[in-house]
Structure 1
Amino acid sequence: MYIETETTPNPATLKFLPGRQVMASGTREFTSPEAAAASPLAEALFDIGEVTGVFFGHDFVSVTAAPGADWPSLKPQVVSVLLDHFVSGAPLFTGGDAAGISVPVEEEDLFEGQADDPADADIVAQIKDLLDTRVRPAVANDGGDIIYRGFREGVVFLTMQGACSGCPSSTATLKHGIEGLLKHYVPEVTEVRAA
């Protein structure tokens, strides 16, 4: 088995491609060793000691290193953990693959549990379609994902995950890339904010 490695726009994160499916659907992000307990693979990656984030995409695993970590020393350790996991056929999550799948909760937003205004249903559908067809594939290429959190009074709230979370260019991606795209196709959008 060969695991390909790609850089991401986030210098602290590398993207590892095992040449097979990682997640059947959705994505999953682990930002602490405690959260990683749900996945033997994520837990093993955190056990290396210099890992601060693990993200599972459809066919990749993004790993974020601690500040000051040395990728040339860390990378072989990560590849070894990934090889051991995929060659052994171990489950991705404790309790089997289905037990830990966390498909992003698109309706979850920042507004105290309030759902999007039903009057905005067509606008929200257009926003979600653009995110799914135009934005998510590009963000996945960079080792991350983007989650819709809500639409309120012209403002779209999004959360960056994986390599895109904490990336130096994430603000530019949101403000210049995604905001421009959404404003162009959905005139009701006036701004995009990180959530």
Structure 2
Amino acid sequence: MKEYNITVIVTNNPKILKFEANHFLVKGNYEYKNIDEAKNSPLAQQLFYLPFIKTVYVSSNFIALERFDIVEWEDVKDEVAQQLVEYLNAGEPIVNEEETKKKQPITVYAEVTPNPAVMKFVSNKRIVPATYEFKNIDEATDSQLARELFHFPFVKEVFLDENYVSVSKYDVAEWEDITMEVREFIRDFLADGKEVVSQTAIEKAKETAAQQGNQVQYDDTSQQIIDILEEYVKPAVASDGGNILFQSYEAESKTVNVVLQGACSGCPSSTFTLKNGIETMLKNMMGDKVNEVVAING
């Protein structure tokens, strides 16, 4: 049986210490931010029981640990090294690599939208069952993908639908400089099999939709408008990286109120599309029941 020894190596980052083994440990490279992420690594899970461990990195012949500020490495490094030696020499599993998800064959391509501030990133696979819009990182608690995209300083908003992600940017960056980076990030995220939207959020959305379906009783005109938007308008809007939702119909003024999301929200050409496209279509199909269509940006 192999006998393991550990050598402690200082890194350029004072918060990260490297514990190098004298034998091969794993085939791949693994990073764990918390105990839940470390389901396939009994060693990492044990290390997270140490209250000062922030991140665990496991590589071919070393384990690197990032600490919280509550301790200094000088005070605990020998204790951690000893714990690692005992664990490894007991023959305990490091990473159950056969349980690690293989990368999925995912392709993602970037597609321009009518809104110059928004780029659409289309996947070859369905990524969400419904639409989700996040205006900031605080709204993105149920979407790991959206949260991580907000870490890019130029990302303003994130919109998810079926098989694509629409990313809205601030003016500080140009798409020609950042499109490749964002596309590769989204592709890698999906290829790793990570959860785009939490299961809790998906179930919640289903319940909300069911409740709304039971509670909201639309009049005949409103239902007719909804059917037209669903059949004729939504597919075209989705192809541009956005979404349109029926808000209300005011019978007296014959005004249709809709909500624009994704690439359509705040798009310079959305007013033109609204007036010359959607409004004209509804007037032609609904006759004198529709006088005007008004948009509320989502």
Q: Same fold (TM over 0.5)?
A: yes
SS of equivalent to 1:47: coil
**Counterparts of 2:279 and 2:250 in 1: how far apart (Å)?**
14
Shift of 1:88: 1.2
Question: Which of 249, 252, 260 is 1:151 aligned to?
Answer: 249
Letter of the structure 2 residue corresponding to residue 78 of structure 1: V
1:142-194: CA deviations, max 9, x gaps?
A: 00000110001210000110001111101111111100001111120111001
**Counterparts of 1:14 and 1:48 in 2: how far apart (Å)?**
14
Could you tell me whether the CA contact under 8 Å between 2:142 and 2:201 is conserved in 1? no
Letter of the structure 2 residue corresponding to residue 129 of structure 1: D
**Counterparts of 1:146 and 1:169 in 2: how far apart (Å)?**
15
Question: Is 1:64 the counterpart of 2:168 in the alignment?
Answer: yes
**Counterparts of 1:54 and 1:175 in 2: how far apart (Å)?**
26
Relative to structure 1, the CA distance from residue 145 to residue 139 in structure 2 (aligned partners, 3 Å threshold; closer, same or farther) is same
**Counterparts of 1:8 and 1:69 in 2: how far apart (Å)?**
17
Letter of the structure 2 residue corresponding to residue 8 of structure 1: T
| TM value normalised by structure 2 | 0.57
Question: Is 1:162 the counterpart of 2:259 in the alignment?
Answer: no
**Counterparts of 1:3 and 1:149 in 2: how far apart (Å)?**
32
Relative to structure 1, the CA distance from residue 4 to residue 43 in structure 2 (aligned partners, 3 Å threshold; closer, same or farther) is same
Relative to structure 1, the CA distance from residue 92 to residue 9 in structure 2 (aligned partners, 3 Å threshold; closer, same or farther) is same
Letter of the structure 2 residue corresponding to residue 17 of structure 1: V
Which residue is equivalent to 1:92? 196
Question: Is 1:74 the counterpart of 2:175 in the alignment?
Answer: no
SS of equivalent to 2:119: strand
Question: Is 1:192 the counterpart of 2:273 in the alignment?
Answer: no
**Counterparts of 2:207 and 2:293 in 1: how far apart (Å)?**
22
Letter of the structure 1 residue corresponding to residue 143 of structure 2: S
Letter of the structure 2 residue corresponding to residue 179 of structure 1: E
Could you tell me whether the CA contact under 8 Å between 1:13 and 1:64 is conserved in 2? yes
Aligned length: 184
Which residue is equivalent to 1:11? 116
**Counterparts of 1:13 and 1:100 in 2: how far apart (Å)?**
28
Relative to structure 1, the CA distance from residue 28 to residue 134 in structure 2 (aligned partners, 3 Å threshold; closer, same or farther) is same
Which residue is equivalent to 2:41? none
**Counterparts of 1:62 and 1:53 in 2: how far apart (Å)?**
8
Question: Which of 132, 135, 148 is 1:44 aligned to?
Answer: 148
Which residue is equivalent to 1:111? none
Could you tell me whether the CA contact under 8 Å between 1:23 and 1:59 is conserved in 2? yes
RMSD across aligned positions (CA): 2.3
1:9-56: CA deviations, max 9, x gaps?
A: 0011111111110222x2111111111222000011111110001111
Percent sequence identity over matched residues? 36
Shift of 1:76: 2.2
1:48-67: CA deviations, max 9, x gaps?
A: 11000111111111111112
Task: Spell out structure 1 runs of 4+ moving beyond 4 A.
Answer: 99-105
Which residue is equivalent to 1:112? none
Shift of 1:93: 2.0
Shift of 1:94: 3.4
**Counterparts of 1:102 and 1:84 in 2: how far apart (Å)?**
28
Letter of the structure 1 residue corresponding to residue 119 of structure 2: L
**Counterparts of 1:60 and 1:27 in 2: how far apart (Å)?**
10
Shift of 1:78: 1.1
